[in-house]
Amino acid sequence: MNSKIETYIGFAIRKGSVVFGVDNIKYYRKKMYLLVYTSTLSQNSLDVLKLTSERVGCPLSQIDDYEMLQRKNCKALAICDKSLANAILENLK
């Protein structure tokens, strides 16, 4: 099941509808449909993501540390494609 989530994130990255990093997510002004973070994210960064999630009105979810995200040294990302965000949310539940 987790490999599906990794596949959907990979599709979003290839499509170019992903925002990487807490600071980039915080200042991004276009529509975001899902915010995801890994378990290694610091508490201060998690607080920033929670505030951004409330401000934007999109869900915030924790995912596993996938190899593709470790290569990019990324701990948080935003999905900007509605259908991919919905598919990831369906597989998280």
Listing DSSP states for 24-80 in one string gives HHHH--S---EEEEETT--HHHHHHHHHHHHHHT--EEEE---HHHHHTT-SEEEE-
Class for domain 2-92, per CATH?
Answer: alpha beta
At residue 2, does pLDDT exceed 70?
Answer: no
pLDDT in tens, 39-85: 888 999 999 999 999 999 999 999 887 777 777 788 999 999 999 99
Write down the domain spans for the chain: 2-92
User: How far, in Å, CA of 86 to CA of 48, rounded?
Assistant: 23
Model confidence, pTM: 0.86
Q: What is the pLDDT of residue 58?
A: 93
